[in-house]
Amino acid sequence: MKIHSLIRTITDNNVQFAFVLDLVAGNFSYDGTNGPSHWGKEHKMCLGKYQSPIDIEEKDVTTMTFPELQFSGIEGSHKAYMTNNGHTVMIQSFDSNVPSISGGSLNGTYVFQQLHFHWGQNDNLGSEDLINNHSFSMELHVVFWKKEYDSYEEAIKRNDGLTVLGYLYQAMDEPNPIFESIVQQMPDIIGVGSNVTISDNNVLKKLVAPDIASAQNYFTYSGSLTTPPCLEIVQWIDFVKPQHISHEQLAAFRSIQSTDGTNLTHNFRPVQPLDGRTVYRNIAGVESSTISPVSKQTPSTASIPASSPAKKPPETANNDVTESPMDDNKNGENSASSMWAVSPFAVILGVTFLLPYQ
């Protein structure tokens, strides 16, 4: 609120305005001289070797069975705020019972910090991660910090400080009820720095854990923040199954203003080189209503296999990967049936019948 009113009082002075925004969230943008290809000038890490997003090629992933990915603090309602930070629509909660996650490719417990969205100038693009070079219309990022480091600010100084859940959305005719309150309140956050309480107290749980049934079906790899300062401290968990949003609901996101005063019509970073990194796909719980033996693994085996390369910092991931017994699994590549091999029409049709997790 303080920053918001500060911005409001000095909008008549463009120089100071830009300066204050720089303090708020950086002066980067998605076009022109502050666009993605220029981020590296101010933020050297944006030129790093292990950046995000990436194109995930299904034929190149290494299948893997991780312990069950576990969600806590999902049930119950959360008071949540929605902000236009000039780069995206961001949702936060300051409740004591915010969600946390553990298991999967993670070493430790990670606590919810914020979630936000990436979209494109039209419905054919907008996701940051690509699957088999295919863009989706929107991507949700749910950002968590490692609890052991006590705060987000401390966690981002560590190379395993953050994990981000990535959810893909495909635009269709059918509205997604999850976005009802967000879209309805979007007019209240048109201006940069504005901030509202979301009327739906269940919005956080519906976004963070939309579909427990497909929550074990994900890709995971080591990468970076997709905005400056592009820190290479993120274990990415990208869920395979896309959800849907209507064309109209998605259009509401494009109506908010960006730091340069124009409408924020798009805010996705182009894909970055994989550069030898391994992308894993968890094979537990692949689109199956029957519980497979792998997904029965007791989560209480809190000791994650020490050999898990996916959670190692990027610096070591390359050198150490050959020591991993998981290389045995490479023979199992592509053993899981591919939903991406079917026609786009079939995928869209499939998306139509997704039910939001209640």
Ligand X SMILES: *[C@@H]1O[C@H](CO)[C@@H](O)[C@H](O)[C@H]1NC(C)=O
Decide: is 190 part of the binding site for ligand X (CB under 6 A): yes
CB of 2 to Zn ion, least distance (A): 25
Active site residue 266: no
Tokens standing for residue 229: 């300062």
Interface residue with ligand X, options 16, 17, 38, 294 (CB under 6 A): 38
Q: 141 is in the binding site of which of Zn ion, ligand X, none (Cβ under 5 to 8 A by kind)? A: Zn ion
Decide: is 41 part of the binding site for ligand X (CB under 6 A): yes
Q: Tokens 């070493």 correspond to what residue? A: 107
Q: Which of 43, 78, 87, 118 is catalytic?
A: 87
CA-nearest of 213, 243, 185, 206 to 77 is 206
| Three-class SS of 162-195 | EEEEEEEEEEECCCCHHHHHHHHHHHHHCCCCCE
CB of 84 to Zn ion, least distance (A): 15
Decide: is 244 part of the binding site for Zn ion (CB under 5 A): no
Interface residue with ligand X, options 148, 174, 200, 327 (CB under 6 A): 148
Decide: is 15 part of the binding site for ligand X (CB under 6 A): no
**Alpha-carbon distance values, 238 to 11, 43, 134, 217, 222 (Å):** 39, 25, 14, 9, 11
Report the site for Zn ion in 265-304 (rule: CB under 5 A).
none
The half-sphere exposure of 139 on its side-chain side, counting CA atoms within 13 A, is 28
Decide: is 141 part of the binding site for Zn ion (CB under 5 A): yes
- Alpha carbon distance 303, 196 (integer Å): 41
Using an 8 Å Cβ cutoff, are 336 and 63 in contact?
yes
CB of 168 to Zn ion, least distance (A): 13
Binding site for ligand X (CB under 6 A): 1, 27-28, 34, 38-39, 41-42, 55, 57, 81, 83, 94, 107-108, 133, 148, 190, 195, 255, 263, 306, 311
